[in-house]
Amino acid sequence: MCLDTTFLQIYAEPANHSGNHEMNQDLSILHMVLNASLVVQLVMLLLVVISVSSWAAIFRKLFALNRVKSLNDDFEREFWSGTSLNDLFAAATKNARDSGPMERIFASGMREYQKLHERRITDAGTLMDGARRAMRASFQREMDVVETNLSFLASVGSVSPYVGLFGTVWGIMHSFNGLASLQSVTLSTVAPGIAEALVSTAIGLFAAIPAVVAYNRFARDIDRISIRLETFIEEFSNILQRNVGAQSASGH
């Protein structure tokens, strides 16, 4: 009896290892994707496309914000170096395509100020209001450009998990419909279908998490850029105000 029991244990162990190996093969990611239902596969494909588009938008936005910061730093350094406003305006007009947001805002305010001055308008309030309105309009245009693709990342972060969840629910329903015709249901028959459905949720989270992290990072960076540009508008307005006051005093 002891020999028979030992023989059965030895004989059963390879079979168990073989069964575990087959289950591991059946539950591989590629196998689950290929054997999922058509609807789940379409959901997975949609999520992969969304994820790739999201990563592309993240890298574009990262490079764009770094370029904006660099251009603003360069112009602000030049602005406070003691260069005359006329020289700065001439350089900004000449290099309009390669200039940054801060330089374009400066050019808008300076251009409006010079236009009003050429019309022989000497009222300080009129000159300053015109320059401020021009800079505010330019500021709004610049912020619209800086915030490009930010709403897309927010949509990806909020919608992707639900799209993945839809694929999971559909896959589980499809799996249970297939089990309805079976007389006996075990874990080995239920697990593959549920695992295939859960892959959809995993892909949805993979698309959503980087988008949410990037959105929060970019939103903070854009807020800093906005505050910096608004501060520059106020500082430049003060400089123009002093120039207007000096010209009025010399004129009288």
Tell me, what's the pLDDT at 5?
44
Residue 2 has pLDDT above 60, yes or no: no
101: Cα separation from own chain's centroid: 20
Percent of the chain with pLDDT over 90: 48
Tens-digit pLDDT profile for residues 118-163: 887 777 788 889 999 999 999 999 999 999 889 999 999 999 999 9
Distance of CA 117 to the CA centre of its chain: 43
Average pLDDT of 57-61? 95
The whole-angstrom separation of Cα 183 and Cα 186 is: 10
The domain segmentation of the chain, as residue ranges, is 1-31, 35-251
Per-residue confidence band for 51, with pLDDT thresholds at 50, 70 and 90: very high
- Of residues 56 and 29, more confidence is placed in 56
The mean per-residue pLDDT over the stretch 229-251 comes to: 82
Tell me the per-residue pLDDT of 196-227, one tens digit each, with 9 for 90 and over.
778 888 889 999 999 999 999 999 999 999 99
Average pLDDT over residues 98-109: 93
Confidence of residue 188 (pLDDT cuts 50, 70, 90): low
Contacts of 198 (CB under 8 A, 6+ apart): 168, 171
Distance CA 51, CA 88 (A): 43
Name the one residue in this structure whose structure tokens are 């330089």.
103
Pick the most confident of 21-35, 110-124, 126-140: 126-140
Q: Which tens digit of pLDDT belongs to each residue from 158-178?
A: 999 999 888 888 877 777 666
